[in-house]
Amino acid sequence: SAASDVYKRQVVELVDVSRTYRSRAEDVPAVVAASLELHAGSLTALVGPSGSGKSTLINLIVGWEMPDEGEVRTHPDVGDDWDSVAVVPQGLGMLAELTIAENIRLPAVLGNSAALDIDELCESLGLTHLRDQLPEAVSLGEHQRAAVARALLAQPTLLIADEPTAHQDEENTLLVSELMRGAAAAGSAVLIATHDARVLAAADVVVEILDGRLSTRR
Ligand code: ADP
Ligand code: MG
């Protein structure tokens, strides 16, 4: 049907993408001839050891870095607006002068597009009592869950999270992976860089990266 076509549409395609960091000392081939497709309604997990190129691959998909070779193609539906693409960066990227609630709401305000209810989202991530705090006043785990909430709020076409459970305990890791699953079920194309077996278990596709080279496990 037309509906299922839309649901499965390809949101991002990487074709033989390479990125090498060049310094005086040595060249570091961080991503080597990577090809990858991300589909609406699908959760892809990107797994690999520290330094294998996960964050570089994410930066290339988001457009924060440009490939030396190859091409990153995005579906015309994916604009550069705040409700098309949402990212949980490894460094979280919260604004220090805004409260937790203001940070979570910011992209939705800019994109005029809060798809989910912010109260419910804060409640489900255990953030309700922290809404009026500044990021510096909450724990790293809470800070990270707020960055997850910010990415989920607009139900973006493309949702990318870089190790979003790195600072979470067991219970919150399950919570975050369930919410990411929910985003895929609602139609987002979701990519999560992770080491966590519980996040891997929630994935439709698992892609491994080793020394910048991708291989698909499932
Ligand atoms: P991961 O996210 O899997 O830990 P990264 O993508 O951050 O891996 O890094 C991949 C490789 O590229 C590593 O060897 C890292 O040291 C190197 N690297 C990452 N960013 C830079 C940069 N800005 N300049 C030089 N080398 C970098
Ligand atoms: Mg990284």
What is the best residue among 27, 28, 162 to mutate for testing ligand 1's pocket, by most ligand atoms within 8 Å of CB? 28
**In this structure, are residues 31 and 46 in contact, taking their beta carbons and an 8 Å threshold?**
no
Expressed in angstroms and rounded, the spacing between residue 96 Cα and the centre of ligand 2 is: 22
Q: Is the pTM of this model over 0.85?
A: yes
Instruction: Please answer whether residues 203 and 178 qualify as being in contact, where contact means their C-beta atoms are separated by less than 8 angstroms.
Output: no
pLDDT in tens, 184-200: 999 999 999 998 999 99
Contact of 91 with 38, CB cutoff 8 Å: no
Mean pLDDT of 121-139: 97
CA of 30 to the centre of ligand 1 (A): 6
Q: Check residue 1 and give its pLDDT.
A: 45
How many Å lie between the centroid of ligand 2 and the Cα of residue 39? 22
- For position 103, what pLDDT does the model report? 97
Tell whether ligand 1 has an atom less than 6 A from the beta carbon of residue 21: yes
Q: Residue 156: is it exposed, middle or buried by C-beta count within 10 angstroms (0-12/13-18/19+)?
A: buried
* Joined tokens for residue 194: 């992770």
Mean pLDDT rounded to a whole number for the chain: 92
Contact assessment for residue 30 and residue 212, using Cβ atoms and an 8 Å cutoff: yes
- pLDDT on residue 162: 98
The residues with which 43 forms a beta bridge, in sequence order, are: 190
Q: Show the DSSP H helices in 153-210 as ranges.
A: 170-185, 197-201
Residue 2 has pLDDT above 60, yes or no: no
92: left (phi over 0), alpha (psi -120 to 50) or beta: left
* Tokens found for residue 111: 């994109």
> Does residue 89 have its Cβ closer than 6 Å to ligand 1?
no
- For residue 58, the CA-to-ligand 2 centroid distance in Å is 9
pLDDT at 68 over 70: yes
- Mean pLDDT value across residues 205-209: 97
Residue 114 has pLDDT above 60, yes or no: yes
Work out which ligand 1 atom sits closest to the CA atom of 50. 4
Residue nearest to atom 12 of ligand 1 (CA): 30
Interior angle at CA 73, CA 68 and CA 75, nearest 5: 160
Predicted confidence band of residue 115 (pLDDT cuts 50, 70, 90): confident
pLDDT at 3 over 70: no
By residue count, the chain amounts to: 218
